[in-house]
Homo-oligomer: A and B are copies of this chain.
Amino acid sequence: MSKKYVYLFSEGDASMRNTLGGKGANLAEMTKLGMPVPQGFTISTEACTQYYEDGEKINDEIQAQIMEYITKMEEITGKKFGDTENPLLVSVRSGARASMPGMMDTILNLGLNETVVEVMAKKSGNPRWAYDCYRRFIQMYSDVVMEVGKKYFEELIDKMKDEKGVTQDTELTAEDLKTLAEQFKSEYKDKVGTEFPSDPKDQLMGAVKAVFRSWNNPRAIVYRRMNDIPGSWGTAVNVQMMAFGNLGDTSGTGVAFTRDPATGAKNLYGEYLINAQGEDVVAGVRTPSPISQLEQDMPEVYKQFVDIAKRLEDHYHDMQDMEYTIEDGKLYMLQTRNGKRTAAAALKIAVDLVAEGQLTKEEALLKVEPKQLDSLLHPTFKADALKSAEVLTKGIDASPGAAVGAAYFTADEAVAAAQSGKKVILVRQETSPEDIEGMDAAEGILTARGGKTSHAAVVARGMGKCCVSGCKEIKVNEDAKYFTVGDKKFNEGDVISLDGSTGVVYVGAVETQEADLSGDFETFMGWADEVRTLKVRTNADTPRDAKQAAAFGAEGIGLCRTEHMFFEESRIKAFREMIVSKDVEQREKALAKILPMQQGDFEELYRALEGYPVVIRFLDPPLHEFVPHEDEDIAELAKEMGMSFDELKTKVEDLAEFNPMLGHRGCRLAVTYPEIAKMQTTAVIQAAIKVSKEGTPVTPEIMIPLVGHIEELKYVKKVVTETADKIIADAGVDMKYQVGTMIEIPRAALLADEIAKEAEFFSFGTNDLTQMTFGLSRDDAGKFLDDYYAKKIYESDPFAKLDQEGVGKLVKMAVELGKQTRPDITLGICGEHGGDPSTVEFCHRIGLNYVSCSPFRVPIARLAAAQAKVKELQK
């Protein structure tokens, strides 16, 4: 038996979303509910997939089914393609499983040709309308199906208007439009090489192909990547009888939401344009009226629409976004779907729907996109203030939030200004580890270079601080302390405002408002916490981060990168001394200076987390990241260290590596320099003893990074336990601690049963694990990843969204092997993926105990974890 590829609207329902796409499934559902839907059929997503499998061809089987359904549609509507009495005109629209607004192409008025247009003109008594429809169809078809640019047709219209001495399209007569239609067809023939198709069936087949093709246009690929939509899904095609909103003053078209998509307030919200087709609303040629105008113009229709809207919301238990057309006083519903909304609206609607008894709490949790929450966690500019703000330039939206402050050009000056009580924006060509203190002191960071993974962007996101990076128009002169944009110049102290959520930079101060985590947010996140079983910890390196994360609901620290404690100027010196030491004695002397700083930080972390677990990762990066590389800086450091320039220079050169990612770092440092691990253990344990005595229970978890071989872990663990056990015994206390490892090297995942013999916990370091599993350096991939997206090799950035197929297979394997050896092993993830909702769901599914992410992603992860649990329960 052959497969069914085409469905009448009356054959489907909302549950068939995967086959019919969202639009098709909802048209079928509305049909089932007896609502006024212009009838038609849906060509399934499977037909689209088949089209690509067949090498971008619609096979005979599918073509035959489409033909069969045209006939069925003609029977239902009583109209016929190309008929001289009652011709059938249709719209052809894409409709994927997930809503991809504006991503795909649409064709209206299909079925028109020279004969049909005459019939329409006569029947309607409105020849101008008929010819306007015709020329629009030719134009749209040429553009969408044959990729003949719109501009050629617009030139012809302009020429016609010149000839006629008019300025508006609406001033052209029926005869003018008829002439234009002829000219358009010539233009088509000229560009395409064949006659414009006059057979509606040929037109339809061309349009269906165009919709299938549009699934892989560049903006669709980008949209899918941004929204985690697999390329394998394909799009359905909806072929629907035209309803005409442009037949006169008893006709019209519009869109409406059952609640306000900006605030979530429960009132019908929408637009309405009299005597118009859908594309007029989109094109913005005329300004639509609010939907209340419809109540005055056509009260009966309005009443019917309000009634339908309520029924739809009740039916779907969610705020609906609807398209409708009124043809000569008769209402037609063209689409309904769950409406897009702002984060604030999403929370309010979810909470309200539960209060109204429409949704359970669990169902409500699925109604908010986790990533949306981010915008609620940062200060924002007041909407009113933005209206009058002067836009200076636009960069990359590297880290969200709004910031206002005086421009400063070096970290030191930013720190000094902040200490004097000023609000500061740090403006740099690009930032480097030395700028950390300045970034910390600033309200926001603006850089001329670098993308979303630049140092500035990554660190700012970690700090939850607003950042606009890669702002190419600004020219920064750090020495002379000014920057310019075109001919505008900003000196040190001049005030600017940054919107890290949009990348826009404003001149002067724009009024901001603080994030509010109470109200709906608090209620909603409370439900999430009730439901979820996956814990959420945070990646925090400083007491400040830890406190921030705790406020966002973090249940412990999943990753404290101890090396980040050393970027402060007062500390880096001792650290560098340690690095350039000539022997163990010298190194131990330097380490002794570092010990109290590190211990102090750990104490504060423990206090901030109030008894929650704290995972402390031992020194990880290659040592050359901490030493200067320019001769000038080397000379300065040499003087400080009491070394000769040559001696230090040789040392620095010795530290250089061909592939630092795969070099002397992680536990390899501890193998070479066990004294470092000893110092870090001492700091961890002494701090824990001290804070425990204050009354806060602490069970530190020491994490050994970059383990690839059980013997590495054994060796370092022995150093740790010997050191720790002695301190504990000497102190005469009963202190527990755990020693575990990051699983970030493929070999460790492959042999996780071995590793678990020594490791009391695993934390998946999916950043490095992804780099190594893909053989792909994150710092270098930027150069060619765009080619990979354009050529459809990668659908998403494997560093943002965990590659569940490959890296995920390794993670799953490690989970299973680890549990074989140690059934009660604690399993977590601490790569940046830990804050990505699809990854969080994966982590829940494979049975991890927790995810750990940067503080500002903690609420996102909490919600994603709850959603994962709800989905599991629903199965």
Contacts and interface: CB of A to CB of B under 8 A. Distances in A.
Interface of A: 657-664, 668, 671-672, 706, 708-709, 711-712, 715, 744-747, 750-751, 768, 771-777, 779-781, 783-784, 787-788, 791-794, 803, 805-807, 809-810
Contacts of A664: 780, 783-784
- Closest 8 CB pairs between A and B? A662-B777, A659-B777, A745-B775, A747-B806, A663-B780, A658-B779, A711-B793, A746-B746
With most chain B CB atoms within 10 A of its CB, the pick from A751, A780, A788 is A780
B794 A773 contact: no
A784 to B, nearest CB: 5
Contacts of A712: 793
A807 B711 contact: no
A766 to B, nearest CB: 13
With most chain B CB atoms within 10 A of its CB, the pick from A751, A772, A774, A775 is A775
Nearest to A792: B711
Q: Is the interface of A mostly helix, strand, loop or mixed?
A: helix
Nearest to A669: B784
Contacts of A661: 658-659, 662, 775, 777
14 contacts: A657-B780, A659-B659, A661-B662, A662-B780, A671-B787, A671-B791, A706-B775, A709-B793, A712-B793, A715-B791, A745-B774, A746-B810, A768-B775, A772-B773
A805 B662 CA distance: 20
Given A662-B771, A775-B768, A794-B711, A784 B750 contact: no
A653 B715 CA distance: 41
A64 to B, nearest CB: 30
Given A709-B806, A745-B775, 10 more contacts: A658-B777, A664-B784, A671-B791, A709-B794, A711-B794, A715-B793, A745-B773, A746-B810, A747-B775, A751-B805
A313 B774 CA distance: 55
Contacts of A809: 750-751
A672 B787 contact: yes
A747 B711 contact: no
A654 to B, nearest CB: 8
Contacts of A715: 791, 793
With most chain B CB atoms within 10 A of its CB, the pick from A661, A662, A711, A768 is A662
Contacts of A706: 775
A53 to B, nearest CB: 13
A794 to B, nearest CB: 7
A706 B776 CA distance: 10
Contacts of A805: 751
A750 B658 CA distance: 27
Contacts of A779: 657-659
Contacts of A788: 671
Nearest to A667: B793
Nearest to A658: B779
A773 B750 contact: yes
A777 B744 contact: no
A712 B791 CA distance: 9
Contacts of A663: 777, 780-781, 783
A199 B672 CA distance: 42
Nearest to A771: B662
Nearest to A810: B750
A771 B661 CA distance: 11
Contacts of A659: 659-662, 777, 779-780
Contacts of A775: 661-662, 706, 708, 744-747, 768, 772
Contact of A776 (B708, B711, B780, B793): B708
Nearest to A708: B774
A562 B334 CA distance: 60
Contacts of A751: 805-806, 809
Contact of A747 (B708, B777, B807): B807
Contact of A750 (B776, B777, B793, B806): B806
Contacts of A807: 747
A328 B747 CA distance: 61
B777 A657 contact: yes
A668 B715 CA distance: 38
A709 B785 CA distance: 13
Contacts of A783: 663-664
Given A751-B805, A773-B746, A658 B793 contact: no
A134 to B, nearest CB: 41
With most chain B CB atoms within 10 A of its CB, the pick from A659, A751, A805 is A659
A746 to B, nearest CB: 4
Contacts of A747: 773-775, 803, 806-807
With most chain B CB atoms within 10 A of its CB, the pick from A660, A711, A746, A773 is A746
A794 B711 CA distance: 8
A663 to B, nearest CB: 4
Contacts of A773: 708, 745-747, 750, 772
Contacts of A711: 792-794
Contacts of A793: 671, 709, 711-712, 715
A713 to B, nearest CB: 10
A792 B672 CA distance: 12
A780 B655 CA distance: 10
A806 B747 CA distance: 6
A218 to B, nearest CB: 16
A807 B748 CA distance: 11
A813 to B, nearest CB: 8
